[in-house]
């Protein structure tokens, strides 16, 4: 069990607390300090059953500075590389359990993969 976590994010903190309250001790990855690789991001997207653009926080200043839009015509690989290069754009938190994953928005959404 791995939680991609940003301790400055209230939803991320709530998700970690929810897991701990239920007796789980996930491996916590502070993804801003230790960004996931392209391969890790690809596995996360596969586990989510979603494309990498679904992980992009388009309202972030960094996304605006890069001129990103949800309908951008980029390849999967290009989106994955963009996220690996700019981890601040990654939606959080993300819980990965085996071959399944969920985004903790709301925090209770991660319960589906336990």
- Catalytic (active-site) positions: 9
- Residue 26 CB coordination number (10 Å): 19
Tokens of 113: 């993969």
Q: What is the enclosing helix (H) or strand (E) of 10?
A: helix 10-21
Residues 75 and 78: their CA atoms lie apart, in Å, by 5
Q: Which of 46, 38, 30 is nearest to 84 (CA)?
A: 38
- Residue 22 CB coordination number (10 Å): 10
Residues in the chain: 114
């Amino acid at each position: 069990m791995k939680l991609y976590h940003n301790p400055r994010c209230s939803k991320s903190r709530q998700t970690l607390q929810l897991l701990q309250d239920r007796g789980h001790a996930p491996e916590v990855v502070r993804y801003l300090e230790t960004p996931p690789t392209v391969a890790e991001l690809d596995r996360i997207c596969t586990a989510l059953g979603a494309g990498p653009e679904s992980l992009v926080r388009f309202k972030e200043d960094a996304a605006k500075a890069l001129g990103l839009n949800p309908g951008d015509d980029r390849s999967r690989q290009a989106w994955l590389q963009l996220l690996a290069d700019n981890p601040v754009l990654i939606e959080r938190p993300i819980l990965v359990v085996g071959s399944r994953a969920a985004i903790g928005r709301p925090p209770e959404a991660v319960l589906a993969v336990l």
